[in-house]
Structure 1
């Protein structure tokens, strides 16, 4: 029969406690949202108004929501990496190129036993450096640069090669075990012991005078180092000490420099990070993500302070070590008493402790700190260049970062106004009213209920009063099968 498909629609409306005669015809074809089945209302709000009579919603001001696109964040990270790379390159150049002239001056002062001026303060070095530059030019301060870089590169290569053929780790972390730390230090000691003869050849090239000596070649550091290594027990030239006597002080100086530098660098890094964290807390914005440029800056500053502390503390040991390496090499150096003289190196030490005792006895305790003013100038200039480069790179990075797009203003969506209630059935056309009438309680035009033949108009008992009672009572009292039969007979009667 026609109209059987609407039973489910009417049954759902009845279970939701919603009078189906107030539903418009258009919503009959819409799918029923079953998610609201258990959220049916028990009563309707009384303050529903017609849209024409409802007051307009209050206007709200436009608010700008911050908007940061992904490409801007990626650009910031990329510029941070460029800044980190730039500051690392500046630090590398300052450590190896800018500091080399002062290393040359310092070593010349350390190995000069007969010098009258100790140059403990930087101010006494300035006249001698001016005279030396006037006589020999700027090239006198850059001698031996190639051999120094070569020795550093060979040391790193030896460490890498030994770590590949042995279980000794090349790098360690603060969480490494004592066994790993011991093996790492053993790796460092092995590399320093093997590089000792080449270190002696590089030291000779940095202190010998260009006026009284021939300019060394590119591979002379390897030739002189191999010759020094082959004469391991007793060299063939005069007072030159054998290599085995130089290995112990060289390895001791290198390991102590490494330990002191790393310890001071770690402590300084933690202090700088804590200070940076406290500074952010004072400003009220603590960043969750660490920036690479800030990390690189902290790491370089801590490494700078670590190198400075190790060089200052081990300066007397370095003086004795250089004098032992230079003994018997027949090297002529530049005298920095006035800046335009040369002197030969003539010493006769039996070993480390003999050199220490002789130096303190003949030159005093300050004799161990000859050329300390050059170290002060070196690290002062190194720190100034590092700080200046950091400021310049930070400013350039901020300039090159593209400006972020302006935040887009967004309107907050106003709450929806309540819709007007559906008009009552009496205001509709009687034909439409019949379409929206209830099949369970439909009435004729005269007000008498339209019931199928054989069914009384007035239900027995309280059946009629329970048709529009609460959903729980309806589910208990209404027989769905009987109601379906009544609905079919009602539709057949209307036809």
Structure 2
């Protein structure tokens, strides 16, 4: 019968949801002193298998619902999601502005620069932007604004075909299209081989695009949309036998074209990587001076750093390789019977009449007849190009950042202090940790 009494005793405890170490009285409540009953919550105790909520780590404790029925941190999570979304919109906007500035706004200066480079008989070298202003004004008065946008379609077409060739080669060959800083030397070599192959295949089309950007509209017919493919295929088919006696074969143009493209890619990436590390280090030091270092920077800030470093990388590669680009353009234009606009005064047109045997012959002839600065003709146009590019990027960055701050204003930093009801869900009347410990010791005694 003793076993039945024990079973009935524990069955009653289970129904009352009361731990077996607590003393009960006839009313079913817990027999405890009056002062402890005043300090304890009115609700019943949990089973001993469940850990008391007020002894849990506050960081992992469940959040109590607010008065409105929602969690108090839902608004914070929603605000954080809005901030991340606005950061992504800002990053997309600054990327689009950079893409337009690089491909659209820079094209008129590329046209002027190439016309200066291929003009071997020009008296003005235009090493500074100030000397180009009168000639550009005269040229705009005679031919209109469209004279500075000629060949834009062919330039974009050549860039698109280059990317398409790289993508196709990466799919049909083991050569990777992209690499990381942790890539092996073999992977980097295969990636550079992919770039070289794409540049070699695009060489005849690059020649056709160059002709469209420098030929005068008042002395030549406007090219069609597909003329860049027509002229490129024609020059590609005459791989060894050129159309005229002065036009160089394609195989003589491949080596300088690939060399220029690879050096531009390597120098640009190297300078961009170094600049990116320097900018991030400067930002970290600036944050340390302010007393707060952010562990996770926003996507808009990362996009700004990436675009600034890419801009400086492009600028450094163009400045360093400018003489090589001048020689390369003169080799591509030889024998094409192209008439260009003379930027000495902006009124005249001149034909291109050269007879170079190769790269080194063009280099020696240019230095002998035009001097060392003959390799830098049109350098002022490149200065204007990157000055405008930098101004557009800076202006767009400021505008996008201000709009982002208006839509999602920065919130003040609050001290990380949890509410009182979260710290003491079952001992709301306790005022200190010692009192809570005393209460729980009384329970377990």
TM-score normalised to the size of structure 2? 0.80
Distance verdict in 2 for CA 1:248–1:404, change over 3 Å: same
Which residue pairs with 2:145 in the alignment?
138
Write the deviation string for residues 440-471 of structure 1: whole angstroms up to 9, x where unpaired. xxxxxxxxxxxxxxxxxxxxxxxxxxxxxxxx
Equivalent residue for 2:273, pick from 266, 270, 276: 266
Mapped to 2, the partners of 1:370 and 1:406 lie a distance apart of: 55
Structure 2 CA distance, aligned partners of 1:286 and 1:234? Answer: 64
3-state SS of 2:337 partner? coil
Kindly provide the CA deviation profile for residues 23-77 of structure 1, in whole angstroms up to 9, marking residues without a partner as x: 76434589998859xxxxxxxxxxxxxxxxxxxxxxxxxxxx9985211111110
The separation in 2 between residues aligned to 1:272 and 1:85, in whole angstroms, is 21
Matched, 1:363 2:364: no
Matches within 5 A, 1:137-286: 137-286=144-293
Deviations 1:184-212 (A, max 9, x none): 00000000000000000000000000000
Where do 1:54-65 residues align within 5 Å?
none
- Please give the alpha-carbon distance, in whole angstroms, between the structure 2 residues aligned to 1:296 and 1:139: 33
> Any unmatched runs of 5+ in structure 1?
37-64, 419-495
* 1:415–1:305 Cα change, 3 Å: same
Q: In terms of Rg, which structure is larger? A: 1
1:415 correspondence with 2:439: no
Change (3 A) 1:229 1:74: same
**Change over 3 Å in CA distance of 1:101–1:416 after alignment to 2:** closer
Q: 1:216 to 1:7 in 2, by over 3 A?
A: closer
Offset at 1:229?
0.4
What is the deviation of 1:414? 4.2
Structure 2 partner of 1:384 = 391
Cα distance in 1 between the residues matched to 2:279 and 2:366? 40
Q: 1:159 to 1:7 in 2, by over 3 A?
A: closer
Indicate the SS of the match to 1:319. Answer: helix
Structure 1 position 121 matched with structure 2 position 128: yes
Give me the whole-angstrom Cα distance separating, in 2, the residues matched to 1:352 and 1:297: 39
Offset of residue 218 of structure 1 = 0.1
Is 1:353 aligned to residue 360 of structure 2? yes
Cα RMSD after superposing both structures: 3.0
Size of the alignment, in residue pairs?
381
Query: Is 1:344 aligned to 2:351, yes or no?
Result: yes
Q: CA–CA distance in 2 between the matches of 1:6 and 1:326?
A: 104
Number of the residue aligned with 1:78:
85
Q: Within 5 A, what are the aligned runs for 1:22-41? A: 25-27=26-28, 35=48
Structure 2 runs not aligned, ≥5 long: 14-19, 32-43, 50-71, 422-427, 436-445
Identify which range, 273-282 or 149-158, moves more after superposition: 273-282
Q: CA deviation at 1:170?
A: 0.3
Q: Which runs of 4+ in 1 moved over 6 A?
A: 4-9, 29-34, 402-409
Q: Is the 8 A contact 1:72 1:404 kept in 2?
A: no
Kindly provide the CA deviation profile for residues 220-268 of structure 1, in whole angstroms up to 9, marking residues without a partner as x: 0000000100110021223000000000000000000000000000000
Asked whether the equivalents of residues 68 and 404 of structure 1 are also in contact (C-alpha less than 8 Å), the reply is no
| Structure 1 residue aligned with 2:40 | none
TM-score by length of 1: 0.72
- The CA deviation at 1:409 is 11
Tell me the distance in 2 between the aligned counterparts of 1:344 and 1:175. 50
